Amino acid sequence: MTEQINQAINREYEAGFVSDIESETFEPGLDEDVIRRISTMKNEPEWMLEWRLKAFALWQKMEEPEWAHVHYPEINFQDISYYSAPKSMADKPKSLDEVDPELLATYDKLGIPLLEQQMLAGVAVDAVFDSVSVVTTFREKLAESGVIFCPISEAIQEYPELVKKYLGSVVPQRDNYYAALNCAVFTDGSFVYIPKGVRCPMELSTYFRINEMNTGQFERTLIIADEGSHVSYLEGCTAPQRDENQLHAAVVELVALDNAEIKYSTVQNWYPGDENGKGGIYNFVTKRAVCHTSAKVSWTQVETGSAVTWKYPSCILRGDNSIGEFYSVALTRGMQQADTGTKMIHMGKNTKSTIISKGISAGRSNNSYRGLVRMGPRADGARNFTQCDSLLIGGQCGAHTFPYVESKNPSAIVEHEATTSKVSDDQMFLCQQRGLDPEKAVSMIVNGFCKEVFKELPMEFAVEAGKLLEISLEGSVG
Amino acid sequence: MSDWLGRAVSRAEQVSDWLSPQRQASLALLREAQWPTRKTEAWKYTPVHVLADAEFAAAANSELAAAEAIEGLNSIELVFTDGVLQSELSQLPEGLTIVPLADASSETRQWAAEAFSAAKPSKHLFGLVNDVLATAGVIIDVAEGVSIEPVIRIVHRIGKDCEAHNRVLVRIAKNASVTVVEDFSGEEKSFNTGYAEYTLAESASLEHYRFALQTGAALSVGGSHFNLADKAQLNSTLVGFGSELSRLDVDVNHTGEHAFAKLNAIYLLDGNELFDLHSTIEHMVPNGTTEENVRGIVADHSRAVFNGRIHIHRDAQKTLAELNNRNLLMSRDAEINTKPELEIYADDVRCAHGATIAEIDKGALYYLRSRGVSKAQAQIMLSFGFINELVDQMPNQVLAEWLRPQLRQRFANMEVK
Amino acid sequence: MLSIKNLQASVEEKEILKGLDLEVKPGEVHAIMGPNGAGKSTMGYVMSGREGYEVNEGSVTLDGVDLLGLEAEERARAGLFLAFQYPVEIPGVSNLEFMKAAVDAQREAKGEEAVSSKDFLKMAREACKQVHLPAEFLKRGVNEGFSGGEKKRNEIMQMLLLKPKLCILDESDSGLDIDALQVVAEGVNSQRSPDRSFIVVTHYQRLLDYIKPDFVHVLSDGKIVKSGDASLALELEEQGYNWLTEQREQSA
């Protein structure tokens, strides 16, 4: 049975193609000069360059974290190119008509048509290709409600006050090794501002694509939901199939002001490497939200890609009555390693957090949940509930749970539970006896296992995520 | 390296006995060891700076009043004062051998040298310190098929300003059974490391108690470690009060199949006390079972640290392992840091852990009050009941009867807010 | 003895009791019946001082003592006893220890001497016997692992020991088979006396076959909408509660 299950899990990576696009790419290497060149390419104001250089100075003194349950060869940061953009993007196309058709074809092939008439009507997309944003759709329509949705490189020029105020306010430059690196070399990403009291009329989404060899992608996303506003945001990511490892070190900062609500969903499908662990993306990401009074931030992630994942989308529940949620499905197979989870920092009174984590390990992969729930001394009446479930498929994988629970408030309540189980022979037999093939059976069982998380995803993407798992599990059943 | 550690190393260099080969290996590691800081994962929440430049008398022989016997307990008492064995060992039951570490026969030395640090993974600094400095100690050997009726109670008492290092090695042969109590108390300024290692052969059975009841300025680091062969049975109860530094490591290694380990632990902290319990359960082979229940009450300015790791190795299919840690936080100035960990490499296992930190259940409080019991008394009854559940499970109720008043005394002093 | 006037109370800002009036004289047994959600359990909780139940209006006095100004334990010491519909389990605290603490606290409040442990054990055993609970239940954790029927009998056992002035039985019949029901009823009946009163809260008439009420009241939407003698209970049994609510709607 296990044999069958494992076969079902080894599948093709459908997004593994390379687009033939002529790019302008920096020589590998990292020093102050490279940072100055990035800043110049982006036509940045002086303050931005200074901010980058300060981060770079900090980064040089920091050490790479070693506490995660992942192993990979040392990264030589001088072997990475820190900027790559399609040549056609050099003179900033004014409209989609001016965008290189090959670029548009790339996104079409990935199932993300960028022509507005072909798109899902309710979704605006920012498409980031290596180090630049190719296009951001529906901007005018959004502007009607006062919503700003644009590449962050543009926001630095157009909305410097907002950027200055909030950039680094949630994830400071010195926060951690990869965040500091990102601060120094980030190239593009999305910027969102939802004005007071506005309910964003469409889903916003960013699609990240790494194409060029030997480049790292360092995107930066900043979302500000002003008082009483509401936004749902989704990101997706893919990369070509290559034998080399590529680094993706992103930073996402969310600011939910009083009574605002941000729903942030991720479907992460970076190239995971082959079944022997060759190639794949190192996904070292810092995502954090700060919630002011009565604000709510909900992180939902479906992680199926990357060779190594190091990612802890977190909430600082600063304001009274604020709410943080983390819903996660992480599937690892082959030689993938994931160390992911969340931090819920309860500072305000009556703050609430919910953590639902579903880890599925197959093949020879290792899948770890790592989390922190901290009840601060002022968090009267705060509550946390955490449920971490692991599903092991086959006897060669690992599933681990490392929850840190810290409380300094006697009226706060923390509950953590973790269980582990396998796809049982009985379950498989039942499904097969009812006429399902093993692959379908496993994917059904796994989908059921993940249901609590999928129901948190926006509708279109829930279907997408379900399919992704199905594809991921294809051929992994024994 | 701290001043204290520097002195410990130079003293260790003078130690020479039949365990020297083992001690030398640990000494080499100790020389390389880092003094724990907040960044040292195993000491993240437990600062050891009180020890860094502390000075103690190494080989004092304090005048301490005789240890009190436990009423109604049929026991063999082994009393260590400042690490030195005071008791006469005569008239032991048949099948039971107890010898001071220094007096081991050549035959005993053979197995004991092998068992030394075999169950204790020497993974941290103070384990290594104990390896190199514990010249005092005792070796207990229970022969095949023998059930030892009396409880072996090892009493450790350390006088003011003294430092003591003690090692207990226990071997329980096939089908044998025994009860061992490790009893630590005292509150005067002192430092001790006390490690006990238990090797259970096939179908051996151990009922174990560790009462880590040192408080105040009595600094204490130690551990109890168990190797379980096929079908071995362990039932262990641990009770901890905190002190300025109190750290305990409990490790269970399932080296044989179908072994069963039940671990209950209680900590009850008050004042400025700190108590740190680390437990590691290694399931190395299939079909093992572990049930671990840890409960704590943390009052006033005290701090509790719990780290409970369950590690299921690749081959350990059909393991059942459960860990539950529940805490009551009684004060705004107190703190609890808990981390249950699962590390699982086998798919056909049933493992779970849970951790809660909460205040006293409001429904239960109301129920008691609705019968006329005052709020303060109801809080004490409920919190005592919370840990008494585990005291009730102690197989030896004579010990439980002895323990309860001491626990109650703590509650009586505890300020319930 | 008991006087409830215009009692209005809410839970989590939802109004449940909307002006409840009830007079109970010494020695009387009053039955409170009503549909689910009428506020029957809330009445008991409000009277006994459960946290989270806010009194907005009205008064509750027991022998002239204003209960609403007292803590839960002070109300108990004033002679109020609530037999819970769902008694909570408290592992680690023995039944005996619990009852001894409760009896001691109540005696102390009255300026009486504490009962010796030996005498108390005797009393407790006797009480257990009366409700057909084996004496070893005294050593077990409060309600821990008890069946539904055992929990209800344990409540009555506590009532026997505490000898309250006013007992509220909150659905003490729910989930009981006929034998257990009889045991509960016998316990209650044995305590009926000219200076002790009962409020029997129940959804069904069945319990009232065994505990004969002097008065029956129908509680609906937070108020007593109809009162009568024991025959009202039979009427309700036959016709259900709908006709009452319909009647009210028509009159409104």
In chain C, what residues touch B388 (CB-CB under 8 Å)? Answer: 92-93
| pTM listed for this prediction | 0.88
To the nearest whole number, what is the mean pLDDT of chain A?
86
Rounded CA-CA distance B166/B188 in Å is 18
Closest CA to B272 of B227, B195, B331: B331
pLDDT at A166: 96
Q: Which chain C residue has the Cα nearest residue B392?
A: C92
Closest CA to B359 of B377, B339, B383, B389: B383
Q: Average pLDDT for residues A210-224, to the nearest whole number?
A: 87
Verify whether the Cβ–Cβ distance B331 to A410 is below 8 Å: yes
Q: Is the pLDDT higher at A217 or at A192?
A: A192
For residue A476, pLDDT beyond 80: no
pLDDT at A472: 59
Place B416 in a pLDDT band, splitting at 50, 70 and 90.
Answer: low
Q: Is the pLDDT higher at C91 or at B277?
A: B277
For residue A49, pLDDT beyond 50: yes
> What angle, rounded to 10 degrees, do the helices at C178-191 and C148-162 form?
10
For residue C216, pLDDT beyond 90: yes
Residues C2-88+164-251: name the CATH superfamily.
P-loop containing nucleotide triphosphate hydrolases (3.40.50.300)
Closest CA to B156 of B185, B133, B130, B131: B185
> Which residues, 6 or more positions from A269, have their beta carbon under 8 angstroms from its beta carbon?
A15, A236, A237, A238, A304, A305, A468
Helices (H), B75-122: 106-115
**Residue A412 domain flag:** yes
* % of residues, chain C, pLDDT over 70: 96
Stretch among A111-125, B169-183, B246-260 having the lowest mean pLDDT: A111-125
For residue A11, pLDDT beyond 70: no
pLDDT at A41: 87
Place A240 in a pLDDT band, splitting at 50, 70 and 90.
Answer: confident
A23, β-bridge pairs: A86
* % of residues, chain A, pLDDT over 70: 91
* % of residues, chain B, pLDDT over 90: 80
Instruction: Determine the distance in angstroms separating the CA of C246 from the nearest CA of chain B, rounded to an integer.
Output: 37
Amino acid at C162: L
Q: Report whether C35 contacts C241 (CB < 8 A).
A: yes
Q: Report whether C34 contacts C237 (CB < 8 A).
A: no
A443, β-bridge pairs: none
In chain B, what residues touch C91 (CB-CB under 8 Å)? Answer: 385, 389
A337 SS3 class: strand
Q: Report whether A230 contacts A197 (CB < 8 A).
A: no
| Radius of gyration of the CA atoms of chain C, in A | 18
Give me the residue from C72, C90, C109 closest to B369, CB to CB: C72
pLDDT at B123: 75
Q: Average pLDDT for residues A431-456, to the nearest whole number?
A: 79
In chain B, what residues touch C93 (CB-CB under 8 Å)? Answer: 381-382, 384-385, 388
In chain B, what residues touch C98 (CB-CB under 8 Å)? Answer: 368, 371, 373, 381
Rounded CA-CA distance B238/B224 in Å is 10
For residue A388, pLDDT beyond 50: yes
For residue C217, pLDDT beyond 90: yes
Q: Name the residue ranges covered by the structural domains of chain C.
A: 2-88+164-251
C199, β-bridge pairs: C30, C168
Rounded CA-CA distance B106/B114 in Å is 13
Q: Average pLDDT for residues A283-309, to the nearest whole number?
A: 94
Q: Report whether A28 contacts A79 (CB < 8 A).
A: yes
Give me the residue from C76, C91, C97 closest to B371, CB to CB: C76
For residue A328, pLDDT beyond 50: yes
pLDDT at A119: 59
pLDDT at A122: 67
Closest CA to A332 of A280, A367, A370: A367
For residue A195, pLDDT beyond 90: yes
Model pLDDT for residues C69-86, shown as the tens digit of each residue: 999 999 999 999 999 999
To the nearest whole number, what is the mean pLDDT of chain B?
92
Q: Average pLDDT for residues B34-46, to the nearest whole number?
A: 91
For residue A109, pLDDT beyond 80: no
Model pLDDT for residues B368-415, shown as the tens digit of each residue: 999 999 999 999 999 999 999 999 999 999 999 999 999 998 887 776
Place A478 in a pLDDT band, splitting at 50, 70 and 90.
Answer: very low
Closest CA to A340 of A406, A271, A402: A402
Closest CA to B223 of B136, B129, B317: B129
A215 SS3 class: strand
For residue A112, pLDDT beyond 80: no
Model pLDDT for residues A19-38, shown as the tens digit of each residue: 877 788 888 888 999 999 99
The whole-angstrom distance between residue C193's C-alpha and the CA centroid of its chain comes to 16
Residues within 8 A of A (CB atoms), B 281-340 only: 314, 317, 327, 329-332, 334-340
The predicted complex's ipTM stands at 0.91
pLDDT at A473: 59
In chain B, what residues touch C51 (CB-CB under 8 Å)? Answer: 362, 366
* % of residues, chain B, pLDDT over 70: 96
For residue A219, pLDDT beyond 50: yes
> Which residues, 6 or more positions from A167, have their beta carbon under 8 angstroms from its beta carbon?
A51, A220, A222, A253
DSSP assignment of C156-213: HHHHHHH--SEEEEESTTTT--HHHHHHHHHHHHHH-BTTBEEEEEESSSGGGGTS--
Model pLDDT for residues B81-120, shown as the tens digit of each residue: 887 888 887 789 999 999 999 999 999 999 999 999 888 7
pLDDT at A464: 65
Model pLDDT for residues C147-191, shown as the tens digit of each residue: 988 999 999 999 999 999 999 999 888 888 888 888 889 888 999
Place B59 in a pLDDT band, splitting at 50, 70 and 90.
Answer: low
In the sheet that holds C14-24, the strands lie side by side as C14-24, C2-11, C53-62, C65-66
Tokens of B298: 């943390």
Rounded CA-CA distance B212/A346 in Å is 33
Verify whether the Cβ–Cβ distance C93 to B362 is below 8 Å: no
For residue B58, pLDDT beyond 70: no
Place B62 in a pLDDT band, splitting at 50, 70 and 90.
Answer: low
Q: Average pLDDT for residues B65-77, to the nearest whole number?
A: 86
Number of Cβ within 10 Å of residue B81's Cβ equals 22
Instruction: Determine the distance in angstroms separating the CA of A387 from the nearest CA of chain B, rounded to an integer.
Output: 9
Verify whether the Cβ–Cβ distance B317 to A411 is below 8 Å: no
> Which residues, 6 or more positions from C95, have their beta carbon under 8 angstroms from its beta carbon?
C137, C138, C139, C140, C141, C142, C143, C154
- Please classify residue B242 by burial: count the beta carbons closer than 10 Å to its beta carbon, then call 0-12 exposed, 13-18 middle and 19+ buried: buried
Q: Average pLDDT for residues B289-306, to the nearest whole number?
A: 97
**Domain range for A190:** 2-473
User: What total number of domains does chain A contain?
Assistant: 1
Rounded CA-CA distance A365/B344 in Å is 12
Chain B positions contacting chain C at CB under 8 Å are 361-364, 366-375, 377-378, 381-382, 384-389, 392
Q: Which chain A residue has the Cα nearest residue B313?
A: A398
For residue C252, pLDDT beyond 50: no
